[in-house]
Amino acid sequence: MTTTARLAEFVLKTTLADCPEPVLVQVRRATLDTLGCMLAGAPEPVARIVREVARAEGGAPLCTVVGTSLRTAPTWAALANGAAGHAHDFDDTNFALLGHPSVPLLAAALAAGEAEMADGATVALAYVIGFEISAAMGRALNPAHYERGWHATTSIGTLGCAATAARVLGLDAGQTGHALGIAASLASGLKENFGSMTKPYHAGHAARNGVLAARLAREGMTASASALEGRQGYAAAFSGAALPADVFERLGQRWEIVTSGIAVKPYPSCALTHAAIDALLDLRARHRLEPHSIAGVEVGVSHVVPSVLIHPAPTTALERKFSMQFCAAQALAEGRVDLASFDDGPVPEPARGLMPRVRMVVDPTLADRLEHHAWCRVTVTLADGRVIGGLPNGAHGHPDHPLDAAALREKFLACAAVVLPRHEAEAIAGQIDHFEDIPDIRALTSRLAGDAE
């Protein structure tokens, strides 16, 4: 059986009854967090730009553009909602994928679901299917794929989104295989664009292309049966290596959404800054650190990190999200890293003065497993000569230290408040508690319209 056929079989044969309860818990948590990120991101420039083009070129008004009054065609809604959801870089990550799974997958699932008048159970299952394929593909190709410069959120995530959309659209095995093959040619996304509007656009790009691939396949468009594993196929082009078949044999047996899990972000910056932020906030509180008392900060990171945090001297708010120097200085100077930390304008003092004292280095003693690539070791040298720090650490929100239900709900409500009144946001949160029981997904999406232009 070819890889494409194996993936198509998983898309078609998996049922919600196959999913253990911990899988469904993760779906509800991811939906709550992701919709909050979409609502918060709706007013952001990248989301507004995409909507302007959607207004000019979009088709039948079948689908909700979250946080706005706009309705548009499924592919445009997927693009707009994906870009908005990733606009703050506040959405979840998965360390097998080495990217952001939920925003593109839910953007694709909701757009396809509205167009097909699907129920919550269909959308929830489609999200799980896309998540499992994205994470399994990430496990097969990473870290080599990521280190070549590909942004896995879209270069791999497009395949997951195609699987998600194929399930919602009810494609048969042949059509699903073609959708995956089409998606393989649509996949793209470069890490060099980190710190620009194109980075959040990537999440929408994956969602849009996944929906497009599935819709084209349903209408009869074909693709090579070996588009994924062929000599000149997806794996060869994107990683230079063959796809290990055993990774996909475990689909539906090893649930990646539980095992590699979902890392929910407490800070709206690249996930690879979070362990350092946590450690420095802790050191600041325990030692009552003041900026003038700090001579230097060294952050030891995995070898993967320098190719991601590429802005040591950021000049824009978006670049700050990919700057260890800024995020570390902000944590020490202000005792917080939140949405306001990334407002437009110059970096305020005292964080600006601290940034040159922050040094990021590769620490070869850190574990090299995928789930540890976001860990770090922080050392602070004080002006009086003392050196403080701690053991290597992951971050709050990672699968081994998840946000509790109350913290996750508060994050959602704070994000939703950007475009919705609190009572409406609370009602949406209550609906998501029973996501798979929603009889028509439009009962949820109709409540997501907001006042962003």
Task: Determine which helix (DSSP H) or strand (DSSP E) holds 34, and give its type and residue range.
Answer: helix 21-41
The percent of residues above 90 in pLDDT, for the chain, comes to: 91
Query: Which of 161, 153, 67 is closest to 112 using CA atoms?
Result: 161
N-term to C-term CA, the chain: 49
pLDDT at 422 > cutoff 80: yes
pLDDT at 77 > cutoff 80: yes
Q: What is the mean pLDDT of residues 402-426?
A: 96
Q: Is 342 helix (H, G, I), strand (E, B) or coil?
A: helix
- Cβ atoms of residues 415 and 85 within 8 Å: no
pLDDT confidence bin for 369, thresholds 50/70/90: confident
| 176 or 390, greater pLDDT | 176
The percent of residues above 70 in pLDDT, for the chain, comes to: 100
In the chain, the domains with their CATH numbers are 3-266+427-448 (1.10.4100.10), 271-389 (3.30.1330.120)
The rounded Cα 151 to chain-centroid distance in angstroms is 11
Instruction: Provide the whole-model pTM.
Output: 0.95
What is the reported pLDDT for 236? 93
Q: What is the mean pLDDT of residues 417-438?
A: 96
pLDDT in tens, 90-137: 999 999 999 999 999 999 999 999 999 999 999 999 999 999 999 999
What is the reported pLDDT for 59? 87
> Across the chain, what does the average pLDDT equal?
95
What is the reported pLDDT for 410? 97
pLDDT at 245 > cutoff 80: no
Task: Determine which helix (DSSP H) or strand (DSSP E) holds 280, and give its type and residue range.
Answer: helix 274-287
- Cβ atoms of residues 112 and 441 within 8 Å: no
pLDDT confidence bin for 391, thresholds 50/70/90: confident
- Write the CA distances from 49 to 44, 78, 97, 188, 200, integer angstroms: 9, 14, 28, 20, 12
CA angle 170, 64, 83 (to 5 degrees): 95
pLDDT confidence bin for 311, thresholds 50/70/90: very high
The rounded Cα 73 to chain-centroid distance in angstroms is 23
- Cβ atoms of residues 206 and 158 within 8 Å: yes
Query: Which of 371, 148, 158 is closest to 272 using CA atoms?
Result: 371
The residue to which tokens 């970096």 are assigned? 347
pLDDT in tens, 43-53: 999 999 999 99
Query: Which of 120, 108, 140 is closest to 6 using CA atoms?
Result: 140
Rounded-to-integer distance, Cα 136 and Cα 139, Å: 5
The residue to which tokens 């309705």 are assigned? 71
pLDDT at 165 > cutoff 90: yes
What is the reported pLDDT for 149? 95
pLDDT at 214 > cutoff 80: yes
Rounded-to-integer distance, Cα 11 and Cα 213, Å: 15
